[in-house]
Amino acid sequence: MARINERTNIRFDRKITIEQVTETQNALGELDESWGTYKTVWAQKVDGRGKESYIGAQEMGTLGTTFRIRYKDAPSVNEKMRISYSGNTYDILAVQETGRNRYIDLITEIRQ
């Protein structure tokens, strides 16, 4: 169920999953990485402007998205984590506290 903060008009209407990487050692002694759920939380989603860049001769487009969550829901979130939402994966580029321990803005870029 979506939650609306009446004072700020923030709509926490998107359920996102914050994932973190874990490393395990396989039978050969090599490290294997896998992603697992850190927390599932309600968020506000704000799409930013897209940008285009070139890698070699190939044009790549990216779309920046900010997810705002409540600070108390995931105070330890960091740039080594990622977000899964609506079938897409978003890399967390930056974590910004908004208000004193009130909200966290997760600045992300969709993984192509």
10 Å CB burial of residue 100 (0-12, 13-18, 19+) is exposed
Q: Where are the domains of the chain?
A: 3-110
Taking only the tens place, the pLDDT of each residue in 2-18 is 555 555 578 899 999 99
Specify the pTM: 0.77
Question: Cβ of 82: how many Cβ atoms within 10 Å?
Answer: 19
Query: Any alpha helices (H) in 1-112, and if so which ranges?
Result: none
Strand 14-25 and strand 31-55: the pairing is: antiparallel
Angle at 7 between CA 103 and CA 17, to 5 degrees: 35
Contacts of 88-94 with C-beta under 8 Å, sequence gap 24+, read: 90/65
- Answer yes or no: CATH 2.40.10.270 is held by domain 3-110: yes
pLDDT score at 36: 95
pLDDT tens digits for range 24-48: 888 888 999 999 999 999 999 998 7
